[in-house]
Chain A
Amino acid sequence: MSTAALPVLTAADFASDQDVRWCPGCGDYSILAQMKKVMPTLGVPREKVVFVSGIGCSSRFPYYMNTYGIHSIHGRAPAVATGIKTCRPDLQVWVITGDGDGLSIGGNHLMHAIRRNMDLNIVLFNNRIYGLTKGQYSPTSPLGQRTKSTPMGVIDNPLHPLSIAIGAEATFVARSIDTHIQHLGMVLKRAAEHEGTAFIEVYQNCNVFNDGAWDYATDRAMKAETTIELEHGKPLIFGKNKDKGIRLNGMEPEIVELGKGITEDDLLFHDEKCAEPSLAYLLSRMRYEDGFPEPIGVFRSVQAPLYDKLMNEQIELAIQQKGPGDLDKLFNAGDTWVVE
């Protein structure tokens, strides 16, 4: 196989022949577009890529990618992906999930896939609603939200995807926004390049059942004040005029204004490589509703042993120690006797 012969692929090469059936204006389109754009830049041939999903609007994603794919059952995509990846570490495996699929019915699988740290890329489209079943509240819907199944308002506390991922020992955690296309592309690429489970939350607008859920983070006029772009080694600065920052006061983050005696050096510096996950966790807890800008970008990117690799290494080691399995030896092991 000569690498010179490899064709140069474009985004169009990753589009399948199926009509995309999301509602017009759905945030999913932009995520699909970014994915198709990023794929050719990864240097992985199409036949080596597998998209796995569960059930929900986002989970239709694999049908639209001209790669291998499974549209599995509700919540189980991480487990299906685990089977694929452990058998075939050579494949690049993506899991596409949503807030209901990943955090409600599939919460257990998501947590365990993350803690095993296989080389998977998990993208959770967070639209804070059940879209495919037409508008029930999801585990990320805010308290008080009125939906079809909560006419008097949501009364269970929402989950925060990144906090869950960090709690499950994720080695790569990031957040982006459907409309922030360059940023989204960057995050997808970095996730793909990360060795280990990469978990990405994408704020995705469901314009039919939960339109505007992320307006505060996407609105041109507001987003400089309501979001903060994380950059490794840089201080946390935000605001239209880049005049505000996040400072740590003990264990509490606080918003401070630069100038008036406060310099960049007083601010919290982002360290995505920090072995200790508390900083990433603290960032994942910064919420717009509590008056903070919400961080986007890579929260955490550290190295840890990979389950798929370890599993296959154990097999190699066993073969080294015992020699490749021999069926006749296996059958004849232990006490045997001969009947004449």
Chain B
Amino acid sequence: MLATEKEINVLEEATVRFCGDSGDGMQLAGTQFTNTSALQGNDIATFPDFPAEIRAPRGTKAGVSGFQIHFSSREIFTPGDTVDALVAMNPAALATNLSDLRDGGILICDDAEFEKKGLEQAGYKTNPLEDGSLSKFKLHRVNITKLTRLSVEGLGLGTKEADRCRNFFAMGLVFWLYDRSLEPTLRFITDKFGKRPEVAQANERALKAGYNYGETVEGMSTQYQVQKAVLKPGKYRNIMGNQATAYGLIAAARLSKKRLFMGAYPITPASDVLHELSVFKHFDVLTFQAEDEIAAMTATIGAAFAGEFAVTASSGPGIALKGEGMGLAVMTELPMLIINVQRGGPSTGLPTKTEQADLFQAVLGRNGECPMPVIAARSPGDCFDSVLEAWRIAVEYMTPVMLLTDGYIANGSEPWPIPKAAELPRVTVTHPGPLVNGNGHANGHANGSADDPDGYGEKSKFLPYLRDQKLARPWAVPGTVGLEHRIGGLEKQDITGNVNYEAENHQHMVNTRAQKVANVADSIPLQEVNGPTSGDLLVVSWGGTYGACATAVQKAQSAGKAVAHAHLRYLNPFPKNLGDLLKSYKKVLVPELNMGQLNLLLRGKYLVDCIGYNKVQGKPFSVGELVSKIYELVG
């Protein structure tokens, strides 16, 4: 049969999932498919899902790793609720992923793996490929193992090594199915395996064999195409959340002429930020892999005191350990970023799964009255902008800032309109200059004079806690003559910074620190809504659930419902108009991947009877469930 006789079916969008054993290279297959689709001009959203164990026993359900790609010819925000094509490399992968395949969906299984042991491990009593249980799907039984081995014959590879190319065969087949170019993956193979030509050749052969198999075998009668998406004109690349975070850090430091210091301790899913940064030393990036989370945090405080752009990144359990250090950061009023790539909790919880249950921890989770600005990124690419914004707040208000992302956007990817460095917002950092024999403008305050540089009547002394209008204190850097000063975690007197335990002073300082953080609201945009400015329902979301909530609201709006969407970036303080906004709708729905944390904060602050929609299952919302909830509320 010839290729030309195959039917071609043009789709608006499609969702594909590769799943197999964690040793089967499914993440690689997904990443290649993603990059290829992005390069072909589709809009994409991805969802890698992998087990916490590095290598669970082969063939078990615990060891199944998957990667889902949603690609489309229109703008999309989520990796898709259901899957149109599922590649299952073994029975365990089939058993754990089949429920997401839509009726009539394409199912490709490696026939060779569906033997006694594999079936038993997956809990199958009979072979699902043969017992008729898969009749509602377009099942393709492909002996991927055998065909891969055949394709690499003559290269002198052992069976084990040959079998490592199975993912390339599967990729090739799916590439044919969706009419994707092999070029980007062939380039990747040369780059990655160039040093081992026999492996490079084997992967290339397996990839092409898979592609040719699709083209020639009779069972595959239809090829699908998804056209380019109409995205905003410009130059794009694909970017993952943690990568965007790292780029944001590098850019923000560079633009404010600072060295970048990152203190970090390895933790899933935040480690990639450290990995990314550690290869960009030529941007004057210092990465310090600390002995523990506490050291990562406190070294970050040291770096901030030393006058650099300091950041630490971790996930829930690590953030818990940093709590005391964050208190010191709040007390010493030094600018720095604390990034929490949230994962399922409590305790060690679900390290590789997503959740947004650390909002209380971020806003409230420290001893004493310890306010800190908190902002959250909403998508992989948005991590970049969020870092720039977090740094702006940190510097302008002299405060640590917490940035929340999550495992879902950290590992997910999307097309990213490439910014021009010259057009990015720049944060100007000013440090007070030297003060010699009482001369010089120690704090550089506008109300000062030559005789009285700070306008405070003290000529010869640097006052580390003398504040500007925003209530920010000066950032005096060691090495500056005349500004020698001591800071610490004990309560201090305002203006002088001297240790002080007096009752009124403590009240004053607590109020001042709170007011300073509240002042951040003066510099952030008012909350926008997508949809009517009043009406039946406002959906309020934050963080990585943006895509699902935005898509669900759009669907309800197209169905004529008076529903609006407000997605919050600023979680502490909230935008100034938020309270009024909430009160402009009959109902407010707050979907969160936690048990109602933003909901409680909104209720507490604005006395609005918000309705929660809550889920903690280690996975993102599906658009479908949110649409159902919206319909339930607006009828």
| A314-328, CB < 8 A from B | 314-315, 318-319, 321-325, 327-328
- Which chain A residue lies CB-closest to B295? A79
A339:B41 contact, CB within 8 angstroms: yes
Residues A73 and B298 in contact in the complex (CB < 8 Å), given A47-B484, A68-B484? yes
**Contact: A73 with B489, CB < 8 Å?**
yes
Query: Do residues B481 and A47 form an inter-chain contact, with CB atoms below 8 A?
Result: yes
A286 to chain B minimum Cβ distance, whole angstroms, is 30
9-residue interface stretch from B49-57, B354-362, B417-425, B518-526: B417-425
Q: Confirm or deny: B410 has a beta carbon within 8 angstroms of a beta carbon on chain A.
A: no
Tell me if B421 and A328 are in contact (CB < 8 A). yes
Known A48-B478, A325-B283: A83·B486 in contact at CB below 8 Å:
no
A67 in complex: contacting residue of B259, B310, B484, CB < 8 Å = B484
A87 touches B306 (CB 8 A): yes
* Contact B479–A90 (Cβ < 8 Å): yes
Stretch at the interface among A201-209, A262-270, A330-338: A330-338
Partner of A337, one of B39, B298, B490: B39
Q: How many angstroms from the CA of A112 to the CA of B289 in the assembled complex?
A: 11
CB nearest to A80 among chain B residues: B302
**Is B284 a contact of A325 with CB atoms below 8 Å?**
yes
Residues from chain B with a CB closer than 8 A to the CB of A88 are: 306-307, 478-479
A76 interface residue (CB < 8 Å to B): yes
A159 at interface (Cβ–Cβ under 8 A)?
no
Residues of chain A within 8 A of B124, CB atoms compared: none
Q: Judge if A46 is at the interface, Cβ distance under 8 Å.
A: yes
Residues of B within 8 A of A111 (CB): 291
Q: Does A63 sit within 8 A of B, measured CB to CB?
A: yes
Q: Closest B residue to A55 by CB, please name it.
A: B489
Chain A residues near B251 (CB-CB < 8 A): 327
- Is the beta-carbon distance between B486 and A16 smaller than 8 angstroms? yes
For residue A317, which residue of chain B has the nearest CB? B281
**Shortest Cβ gap from B284 to chain A (Å):** 6
In the complex, what residues of A have CB within 8 A of residue B486's CB? 16, 51, 62-63, 65, 68-71
Assess whether A249 is interfacial by the CB under 8 Å rule.
no
Q: Which residues of chain B have C-beta atoms less than 8 A from A52's C-beta? A: 302
A66 at the interface (CB under 8 A from B): yes
Q: Which of B285, B482, B488 contacts A47 (CB 8 A)?
A: B482
- Tell me the B5-44 residues at the A interface (CB within 8 Å): 35, 38-39, 41
Cβ contact of A73, chosen from B282, B324, B480, B485, cutoff 8 A = B324
B476 to chain A, nearest CB (A): 8
Q: A170 contacts the other chain (Cβ, under 8 Å)?
A: no
Within 8 A of A (CB), among B475-523: 478-490, 498-499
B237 at interface by CB-CB < 8 Å: yes
Bound Cα distance from A311 to B263, whole angstroms: 13
A93 to chain B, nearest CB (A): 9
A84 within 8 A of B: yes
A63 to B303, CA, bound (A): 20
State the main secondary structure of chain B at its contact with A. Answer: mixed
Give the chain A neighbours of B291 by CB distance below 8 A: 79, 108-109, 111-112
User: For the complex, what is the distance from the CA of A16 to the CA of B259, rounded to whole Å?
Assistant: 30
Complex Cα distance, B38 from A85, in Å, reads 44
Nearest CB of B to A72, in Å: 6
- Chain A residues within an 8 Å CB radius of B254: 325, 327
The answer to the question of A82 belonging to the interface, with a C-beta cut-off of 8 Å to chain B, is: yes
Q: In the complex, what residues of B have CB within 8 A of residue A321's CB?
A: 282
Whether A336 pairs with B237 at a CB distance below 8 angstroms is: yes
Contacts of B307 in A (CB 8 A): 87-88
Q: Which residues of B contact A108 (CB under 8 A)?
A: 291-292, 295
Chain B residue at minimal CB-CB distance from A320: B282
Contact in complex: A315, B478 (CB < 8 Å)? no
Are B39 and A47 neighbours in the complex by a CB distance under 8 Å? Answer: no
The residues of A that contact B308 with a CB separation of less than 8 Å are: 87
Q: Is the CB of B247 within 8 A of A63?
A: no
Report Cα–Cα, A51/B485, bound state, in Å.
Answer: 10
Q: Answer yes or no: B224 CB below 8 A from chain A CBs.
A: no
- The reply to whether B298 and A72 form a contact with Cβ atoms under 8 Å apart is yes
**Per-position binary interface string of chain B over residues 268-311, scored 1 when its CB falls under 8 Å from any chain A CB and 0 otherwise:** 00000000000011111110101110111011111111111010
B413 at the interface (CB under 8 A from A): no
- CA of A81 to CA of B482, assembled, Å: 21
A50 at the interface (CB under 8 A from B): yes
Report if A283 contacts B (CB, 8 A): no
Query: Contacts A71-B488, A323-B282; is A83 near B301 (CB within 8 Å)?
Result: yes
**Which of B419, B479, B498 contacts A48 (CB under 8 A)?**
B479
Which A residues lie within 8 Å of B280 (CB)?
325, 330
Any chain B CB within 8 A of the CB of A252?
no
Q: Which chain B residues (555-575) contact chain A, with CB distance < 8 Å?
A: none
B232 lies within 8 A of A339 (CB): yes
Smallest Cβ distance from B352 to chain A, in angstroms? 25
List CB contacts (< 8 Å) of B409-444 with chain A: 418-421, 424
Q: Does A86 contact B (CB under 8 A)?
A: yes
B236 adjacent to chain A (CB < 8 Å) = yes
Q: How far is the CA of A105 from the CA of B419 in the complex (A)?
A: 46
Task: For the complex, give the distance between the alpha carbons of A42 and B303 in Å.
Answer: 24
B298 near A76: Cβ-Cβ < 8 Å: yes
Across-interface contacts of B481 in A (CB, < 8 A): 45, 47
Q: Which residue of B lies closest to A92 (CB)?
A: B478
Residue of A at shortest CB range from B43?
A: A339
* A169 CB, nearest partner CB in chain B, Å: 14
Residue of A at shortest CB range from B238?
A: A335
Q: B225-279: which have CB < 8 Å to A? A: 228, 231-238, 247, 250-251, 254-255, 259, 261, 263
Whether, in the assembled complex, B612 has its beta carbon less than 8 Å from a beta carbon of chain A, the answer is no
State the Cβ distance, B633 to closest chain A Cβ, in Å.
37
Within the assembled complex, what's the spacing in Å between the Cα atoms of A315 and B424? Answer: 25
- Interface residue from B41, B234, B261, B490 paired with A87 (Cβ < 8 Å): B261
Please give the distance in Å from A220's CB to the nearest CB on chain B.
37
Contact, CB under 8 Å: B488 / A339: no
Interface membership of B325, Cβ < 8 A: yes
CB distance from B461 to the nearest CB of A (A): 9
Q: Which of A81, A86, A314, A337 contacts B38 (CB 8 A)?
A: A337
Question: Are B490's CB and A71's CB within 8 A?
Answer: yes
Smallest Cβ-Cβ distance to B281: which chain A residue: A318
List, in ascending order, chain B residues with CB within 8 A of A340's CB: 233
**Docked-complex contact A335 and B283, CB < 8 angstroms:** no
Is A133 close to B, CB under 8 A?
A: no
Whether A335 touches B39, Cβ cut-off 8 Å, given contacts A66-B484, A71-B488, A76-B298, is yes
- Let me know if B194 is at the binding interface, CB within 8 A: no
Q: Is residue B332 within 8 Å, beta carbon to beta carbon, of the partner chain?
A: yes
Interface check B328, CB cutoff 8 A: yes
Chain A neighbourhood of B306, CB < 8 A: 83-84, 87-88, 91
**With A16-B486, A68-B486, A71-B487 given, is the CB distance from A337 to B236 under 8 Å?**
yes
- Is A18 interfacial (CB-CB < 8 Å)? yes
A-B contact pairs, 14 of them (CB 8 A): A50-B478, A70-B332, A70-B487, A72-B488, A78-B295, A79-B299, A82-B288, A83-B300, A83-B301, A90-B479, A322-B282, A332-B235, A335-B39, A339-B235
Which 5 pairs across A and B sit closest by C-beta, in order of nearness? A83-B302, A71-B488, A325-B283, A83-B299, A79-B295
Query: Residues on B close to A: CB < 8 A?
Result: 35, 38-39, 41, 184, 228, 231-238, 247, 250-251, 254-255, 259, 261, 263, 280-286, 288, 290-292, 294-296, 298-308, 310, 324-325, 327-328, 332, 418-421, 424, 478-490, 498-499
Other A-B pairs, 19, CB within 8 Å; known A62-B486, A325-B283: A16-B486, A47-B478, A47-B479, A47-B482, A48-B479, A52-B302, A63-B488, A71-B488, A82-B299, A87-B303, A87-B307, A88-B307, A109-B295, A311-B288, A315-B282, A315-B284, A328-B421, A330-B283, A332-B418
